[in-house]
Amino acid sequence: MSKRFIGKNSGTIIRNTLMLFLLASFHSAHAAQSDIQAELKSYSNVFTQGSFAEQRRAISPLEWSGISDPALYDIISKNLSEKAAQDNKPAREEASWYAKALALSGNEKYRSQLTSVATGADSKKLRKHANKALERLDLYAVWNPIISRGLINAPKGELAESRVKNMLRADNAHVIRLGAKRVHHAHSDNNELVQLANERLLSDYQTTDGDGIKVDAMAWLIKALAKSGDINHKSTLEQIAETANNKKLKKYAKKYLGHFSG
């Protein structure tokens, strides 16, 4: 076989391989975009057509969604304006929840509205919730970009898992704690996420002196490992129980060792 033929054939193989890679990347991105749009539409439908009970239930998952899109939060903003203008207890209750939800956007666009409610609402309770929302707005301005990083490349059907991975790999202790809670409450049977929680715990459990949020994040990681019941992670809790500098973490590790069998 001639060198010329080999070279030509190799070039064809490289081009075909590159084409397959690009096609796979395109389909993956398209699938993720489809998931993101479907999720956004679902939330939007709830806040335009759903009952208040349904809307209230939808607020909680927004806390770890990383969503900042005005296409959703403009709807919540409108709901807040309508309810804040009404002088009755049910409306004030709903307005308080909408203020909480609007903070989860992390979007500066809504600061003036929340400030107006915090300073001008007749209801003391509503003013209190709007002030708290302003504090959370600043937090989610930082957290949302971390949680949503690279979601466009998430495998189809794995937006939730990809978000948790982002949280567990974060440099922000608040976000790590949020990710640990998600593993504990919703993903304790996901071996990949539990393993990632284990790695983060081993990496950070000795760097918690004087940092309450970091200690709490590590405590939730301990709970997440225990909830999994995976005996492979028992040694991690044994190590923490024996060597942790922080007394609270030692106590937690000893307490949750009992969740492992064997």
- Close Cβ partners of 59 (under 8 Å, ≥ 6 residues apart): 97, 100, 101, 104
Task: Using only the alpha carbons of the chain, give its radius of gyration.
Answer: 23
Residue in the structure block whose two tokens are 């397959």: 20
* pLDDT tens string 135-191: 999 999 999 999 999 999 999 899 999 999 999 999 999 999 999 999 999 999 999
Q: Does residue 104 sit in the same domain as residue 170?
A: no
Q: Does residue 4 sit in the same domain as residue 109?
A: yes
Q: Does residue 120 sit in the same domain as residue 91?
A: yes
For residue 228, pLDDT over 60 is answered with: yes
Q: How confident is the model at residue 258 (pLDDT cuts 50, 70, 90)?
A: confident
Q: Does residue 86 sit in the same domain as residue 202?
A: no
The domain boundary residue, chosen from 103, 132, 157? 157
For residue 246, pLDDT over 50 is answered with: yes
The domain boundary residue, chosen from 108, 126, 157? 157
**End-to-end CA, the chain:** 62
On average, the pLDDT of the chain sits at 90
Give pLDDT, residue 31. 54
Q: How far is residue 108's CA from residue 218's CA, in Å, rounded to a whole number?
A: 31
Which domain, by its residues, includes 26? Answer: 1-157
Q: Does residue 126 sit in the same domain as residue 176?
A: no
The angle at the Cα of 38, spanning 34 to 41, to the nearest 5 degrees, equals 140
CA distances 258 to 12, 201, 210, 230, 255, Å, are 59, 18, 28, 12, 6
Q: Does residue 198 sit in the same domain as residue 149?
A: no
Beta-strand ranges (E) seen in 13-127 are none
For residue 19, the Cα-to-chain-centroid distance in whole angstroms is: 34
For residue 29, pLDDT over 80 is answered with: no
Q: Does residue 150 sit in the same domain as residue 166?
A: no
* DSSP secondary structure letters along 111-139: HHHHHHHHHH-S-HHHHHHHHHHHHHHHH
Q: How confident is the model at residue 211 (pLDDT cuts 50, 70, 90)?
A: confident
Q: What is the pTM of this model?
A: 0.86
Q: Does residue 120 sit in the same domain as residue 11?
A: yes
Q: Does residue 13 sit in the same domain as residue 49?
A: yes
Tally of domains in the chain: 2
Q: How far is residue 250's CA from residue 233's CA, in Å, rounded to a whole number?
A: 16
Q: Does residue 153 sit in the same domain as residue 129?
A: yes
Q: Does residue 123 sit in the same domain as residue 40?
A: yes
Mean pLDDT along residues 223-232: 95
Q: Residues 184, 102, 155, 175: is their CA dihedral positive or negative? A: negative
The domain boundary residue, chosen from 136, 157, 178? 157
Q: Does residue 89 sit in the same domain as residue 177?
A: no
